[in-house]
Amino acid sequence: MKNHHQPACTLTEKGEDQLLRAAMASEFLVNVLQGLSASSANKSVSVEGIAALVECISLQLDGAVRESSLMKGGHRD
């Protein structure tokens, strides 16, 4: 097995905040969906709402990656 050395990734404060927000939103979504599956009542959730939340998570993660790329002097579009 080859051991490839990866350069350290440094996040800006903004990138770190975006990463934390994405993690919090992901955890919230998991809790909501687990609550729905565990519930005995017939509840539904908005597909558009979930899509919007997943898009927000994606934007937060993309922003965090962009921030870390800028810290390393690279560009990622």
At 59-71, the pLDDT tens digits run 999 988 888 776 6
* pLDDT score, position 8: 66
Q: Who's near 41: CB < 8 A, 6+ residues apart?
A: none
Residue that is written with structure tokens 């005995």 in the block? 40
Angle at the Cα of 67 from the Cα atoms of 65 and 70, rounded to 5 degrees? 110
pLDDT, tens digit only, all 77 positions of the chain: 566 666 666 778 888 888 899 999 999 988 888 887 777 667 777 889 889 999 999 999 998 888 877 666 655 45
Angle at the Cα of 26 from the Cα atoms of 43 and 39, rounded to 5 degrees? 25
* pLDDT score, position 3: 66
Q: Who's near 36: CB < 8 A, 6+ residues apart?
A: 43, 45
> Can you give the pTM of this predicted structure?
0.67
